[in-house]
Every structure is written in C-alpha cells, then in structure tokens.
Amino acid sequence: MKKINSVKNLPDWFDIKQYMKINRCSDDDLWEELEQRSEMFQITFRSNLKSFLYVPSEKNSRYKKIQSGNISLKGHDGKIDFKIEREEPCVELEKQHEKHDRLYDNYMDKYKDYMMFGDSWTIQPITLSSIISYSNICNKFIAKNSRDSERNSKMSSSIHSNVIGKTSVDLILAKSKTWNRQVNDDKINISVNLNFKSDEDLIKEFAESLPEWRKQLKAKEPYKFLKGRSDDIQKLRRYQALAFIDLYFWSLSNNTKIKKSVLAIALFPDGDKGEFELKQTIEPFISKVFANNYQRVEK
C-alpha cells in the first residue's frame, strides 16, 4: 500500500476551494451531496458480491465526475450508464430495459386502483404475488398433515381442519429446510381488523406482538436508526466532510493511505484544525453521518 506523505501527492482534481464553495449551498443541497456520495460508496465498496449493482471505482460515473474536477453531484440521476459503467457496451440490453419500463408503466396505470397505500420496504399489504408464492408450500403442508386425521379416528376432520388452518405460513417457511434465511427476508404476514380497535390500540397490540414474533421466527432485531442532531448540517461544512469522503474514496480506489497530518493540511490549510481534531472528532462524525442507519434530523 502506497503512503501519501505530502499534499503534493494528492490527486490533481482535489481543490479545497471548490469544496468551500459547495459548503455555501443550501442545507438540502448539501444533504443531497452527502447522499450521492453514500450511494457512490455503497455500489463499489459495500457490495459483498460483484452483483449487477457493483460498479468498479474507475467506471463509477459519480467518481469519474469528481475526477474531472466537477465535484458537485447534485442532480445525478443515479442510473447505470450501460456504455460507461458496465464492463462492455450492451445496447440491446438497454433497449430491453426501456421496453420493460414502458410495459411496466402501462400496467401500473391500468391496475393502480388495486394498489394499496403502504408499499414500503418493511411494511406492505399482502399481494397476489405473496399469495401465489406461498400457495405451493402451504398445499404440500396441508396434504402431508391431513394424514394425521386419517390415522387418528378420534379427531374429526372439522377439528383437524380448524387446527391446521391456524398454522402460520411464516413458521412453515421458517421451519422449511428449503427456505434459505440468508437469501429470503424475515417477513411475517398479518391480518389487521381496522374496524375493531382504534389506531392507538392497534399500535399498542402490534408493539406487544413484535417481540414474540421475532422470538418464534428467530429473527434478531436489526440495529436502530442513529438519529442525527440539528447541528449536523453545520458540522458537515465545518469539518469539510465532502472533501474528506472524496479523498477517502480516492485512497481506497488507488490502494493508498493518506497520512493524517497531510489530510489535516489538505482539508484545513489555514491550520484551524489539526491531526488531533481529525482523529478524535472529525472522523467519528463522518462515520456517523455516512452510516447506513443514520437518520437526518430536520430543523
């Protein structure tokens, strides 16, 4: 690993005066600059596998823009440029994606009256796709366990049907040997009666049920959101966070390590912050706002 021991050895595109100009933009624009860099970082360094979303740093369009001296990423559409970011040009594949997008938009417009509110990453209404995907394994489970009522003459078929009918689809999947917990998300399908209880009572009951559901499914609670502070936006400016992130990205991409004293001089040429502040205050702060679970606080 090459070590950078002098400011002269930093990339030619780096100019702290350009970052000082960006720091004067609005709060929302500055947050967007940070979010763009977060995505730039994720698709290159946070991918465990070189999947479809993986883009090498030398072909990352955001990074290429920064290297060209245009360090503002505001308004970047985030789309993959097939001719730039993929290993080889793939015009035919691009046409197929465009055709697929048009068809998808047409179907969405046709069936929009059947789409329920709440289709988020974590909470969404049960859909036809959900039911179809579970139907096969549920049918097999019913067929296999229906033999119990045949063997046990004391148990009527109606009793057996009522009992087996209360079986949780999610527990069937969780106990299935073919269900890969590493690949499939830990989901639970629930039915909510909106007419029987108030929103407040439903939320309370939901909160009480969550720990038991996690226990039964052996699903660990993920990390909680790291709530930011109202003055974080000003710290982004004072600590030259964008400049730090871009240099850090450059160092990882080129297998180099920038000496902290050099980094301090590059970020704070007036000497108002040094190596100690960089290590004790600035780096921990940037790690916080750059974390996946960081949650911005609005003023």
Dist CA 172 CA 140 (whole Å): 11
72-to-25, 84, 120 alpha-carbon distances in Å: 11, 19, 30
**Mean pLDDT, residues 120-126:** 72
Task: Find, among 200, 195, 221, the residue nearest to 210 by Cα.
Answer: 221
pLDDT-derived band at 14, boundaries 50, 70, 90 = very high
Average pLDDT over residues 133-139: 76
What is the Cα–Cα distance from 12 to 9, expressed in whole angstroms? 8
User: Looking at the predicted structure, is the pLDDT value of residue 254 above 80?
Assistant: yes
pLDDT tops 70 at residue 150: no
Pairing between β-strand 226-227 and β-strand 256-258 as defined by DSSP bridges: unpaired
User: How far is residue 7's CA from residue 111's CA, in Å, rounded to a whole number?
Assistant: 59
**Cα–Cα distance measured from residue 2 to residue 250, given in angstroms and rounded to the nearest whole number:** 12
Cα–Cα distance, 199 to 102 (Å, whole number): 39
**Phi, psi (deg, nearest 5) at residue 264:** -65, -40
pLDDT band at 52 (very low <50, low <70, confident <90, very high): very low
Residue 154: φ, ψ to 5°: -75, -20
**CA-to-CA distance for 220 and 186, rounded, in angstroms?**
9
Q: Which of 2, 60, 43, 38 is nearest to 242 (CA)?
A: 38
- Residue 261's Cβ-count burial label (10 Å; 0-12, 13-18, 19+) is middle
pTM above 0.75, yes or no: no
Cα–chain center distance at 234 = 25
- pLDDT at res. 89: 43
Q: Per-residue pLDDT for 10 more than 90?
A: yes
pLDDT, tens digit, 9 for 90 and up, residues 217-242: 787 777 777 788 889 999 999 999 99
Q: Which two tokens stand for residue 267?
A: 């970020």
For the segment 166-175, what is each residue's pLDDT rounded down to a tens digit?
A: 777 777 777 7
For the beta carbon of residue 171, count every other beta carbon within 10 angstroms.
13
The dihedral formed by the CA atoms of 36, 38, 43 and 45, expressed in degrees to the nearest 10? 140
